[in-house]
Amino acid sequence: MGRILLGVSSSIAIYKACELVRELRKREHEVRVVLSPFSEKFISRLTFEALSGNKTFVDWEDDPLLHINLPRWSDLFIIAPCSINTLSKVALGIGDNLLTTCALSHRGTLMLAPAGNPEMYKNPAIQENLRRLRERGVLIVEPEEGKLLCEEEGQGRLASTERLLDWVEYSLRPKPLMGKRVLITVGATREFIDRVRFISNLSSGLMGFSLARVFRWYGADVRVVAGFTTSQEPPNIEIIRVVSTQEMREKVIGLKDWADLVVMNSAVADYRPAKTYSGKLKKEKRLTLELIKNPDILEELGKEKGNKILVGFALEEEEKLLSGAEKKLKEKNLDAVVANPLQSMGSNFYRGRLIFKDGQHFEIEEDDKLKAAERVASFLIEKLFKYPQKYR
């Protein structure tokens, strides 16, 4: 995985840097930490050494070329939290400590995650420095809105660990899909019987949200149309919420001309009640419901596909996994289909098979759906967008 140089400047948000190091290590990244001199008054270097498993640096000590060697070692240099003072030094080319001189000598991707008082952050001088940094290609992970330790509210809180991790993964990957637009449907639709009861399924939305993350990491502009989900929404992605299959159809048809690739991952309800009752139905010994068929969104997209790439998912019983998926691939005019056994719904573990219309099959078996989503996306990029495997 990646080699991450994490710069930490003085801020009360420094405790989040500890969590960030731990999560980066969980994702198998190698992490080295360089501290600004004053940041040690918040947390000692020993804490970061224990979390990272590597020596933490504050000054040059025995290596006079440390400000050159550390940046050259790294694939990504991220400063989080980045104080307003450190941000301004980097923008103005001031190197008065090991952290800022590392930033000046770094030639790869530099990412800053500012944290500070809202009034300081929106100061015109600081906004001008941010503009300069962006023009030089520095990635700025904007601080979040909320109440700060100073009891003021506004934009100044360090970005969440989830957002920082997502930007790290984005920064480490090549961008073969830059300029491409991907539309993904996610989650379960609900068809209401009355005001409180509905027909639905066990889909959590985890696989669809994971695919959305991965396609963004590889450079695509991603939009998600989501039904009901229980999984955490991916950051930095536009999510359009719907309830019923008919609502999902309306949004997808409205966006299909925008997209280069449509991935229909959602578990839509095939049927809906012919009548929806107002209020709450009283309990009876027997209730008979008349169901009518919902529109087949995937079939409709297949008929009007044109030059678009269309990928579907097929949830099948084990003994019908391949035959059912291959039938769907042909009948719906798909470019590829992902065949899932029933056990994959609602589970984090993933096992399935990716089938292309030229007959090629690829096994996908991973201990979590984010890893599975990256494998699926990699094969789709290579096969359908004609990018060779070497981009990975």
User: Rounded to whole angstroms, how far apart are CA atoms 113 and 106?
Assistant: 17
Structure-token pair, residue 320: 């019908």
Q: Which alpha helices (DSSP H) does the chain contain, by range?
A: 14-26, 45-52, 66-73, 84-92, 98-105, 118-121, 124-135, 161-172, 206-217, 245-255, 297-303, 321-331, 369-384
Sign of CA dihedral 99, 101, 104, 107: negative
Q: What region does 171 belong to: left with phi over 0, alpha with psi -120 to 50, or beta?
A: alpha
Options 3.40.50.1950, 3.30.420.40, 3.30.590.20, 3.20.20.140; CATH for 3-172 is 3.40.50.1950
The one-letter amino acid code at 213 reads R
What pLDDT sits at residue 149?
65
Bridge partners of 147, per DSSP, are 153
Inter-residue contact 229 to 345 (CB < 8 Å) = no
Reported as a single tens digit per residue, the pLDDT across 45-58 is: 999 999 999 999 99
Residue in the block written with tokens 């494998």: 375
Inter-residue contact 324 to 337 (CB < 8 Å) = no
Degrees (nearest 5) of the Cα angle 10, 22, 108?
Answer: 65
User: Rounded to whole angstroms, how far apart are CA atoms 87 and 325?
Assistant: 53
299 secondary structure, DSSP code: H
- The candidate with the shortest Cα–Cα distance to 11, out of 103, 125, 102, 99, is 99
Alpha carbon 256 to chain centroid distance?
A: 22
Please return the burial class of 179, using the count of CB atoms within 10 Å of its CB with bins 0-12, 13-18 and 19+. Answer: exposed
Pairing of the two strands 261-264 and 181-186: parallel
Collect contacts of 338-342 with beta carbons under 8 A, ≥24 apart. 338/311, 338/312, 338/313, 338/314, 338/364, 338/376, 339/314, 340/313, 340/314, 340/315, 340/316, 341/315, 341/316, 341/317, 342/315, 342/316, 342/317, 342/318
Give the count of beta carbons closer than 10 Å to the beta carbon of residue 2: 17
Give the count of beta carbons closer than 10 Å to the beta carbon of residue 240: 16
Cis peptide before 81 (omega within 30 of 0): yes
150 is catalytic: yes
What pLDDT sits at residue 318?
82
Please return the burial class of 112, using the count of CB atoms within 10 Å of its CB with bins 0-12, 13-18 and 19+. Answer: buried
Where are the domain boundaries for CATH 3.40.50.10300 in the chain? Answer: 181-391
What pLDDT sits at residue 228?
96
Where are the domain boundaries for CATH 3.40.50.1950 in the chain? Answer: 3-172
C-alpha gyration radius of the chain: 25
User: Rounded to whole angstroms, how far apart are CA atoms 268 and 270?
Assistant: 6
Half-sphere CA count of 335, side-chain side, radius 13 A: 19
Structure-token pair, residue 125: 């001088």
Inter-residue contact 91 to 79 (CB < 8 Å) = no
Bridge partners of 272, per DSSP, are 292
pLDDT in tens, the chain (392 residues): 899 999 999 998 999 999 999 999 999 999 999 999 999 999 999 999 999 999 999 999 889 999 999 999 999 999 999 999 999 999 999 999 999 999 999 999 999 999 998 888 999 999 999 999 999 999 999 998 877 766 677 787 899 999 999 999 999 999 999 999 999 999 999 999 999 999 999 899 999 999 999 999 999 999 999 999 999 999 999 999 999 999 999 999 999 999 999 999 999 999 999 999 889 988 888 888 999 999 999 999 999 988 999 999 998 888 888 899 999 999 999 999 999 888 778 778 888 999 999 999 999 988 889 999 999 999 999 999 888 765 55
Which helix (H) or strand (E) segment is 158 a member of?
none
> What is the assigned CATH class of domain 181-391?
alpha beta
Q: What region does 166 belong to: left with phi over 0, alpha with psi -120 to 50, or beta?
A: alpha
What pLDDT sits at residue 341?
87
Please return the burial class of 359, using the count of CB atoms within 10 Å of its CB with bins 0-12, 13-18 and 19+. Answer: exposed
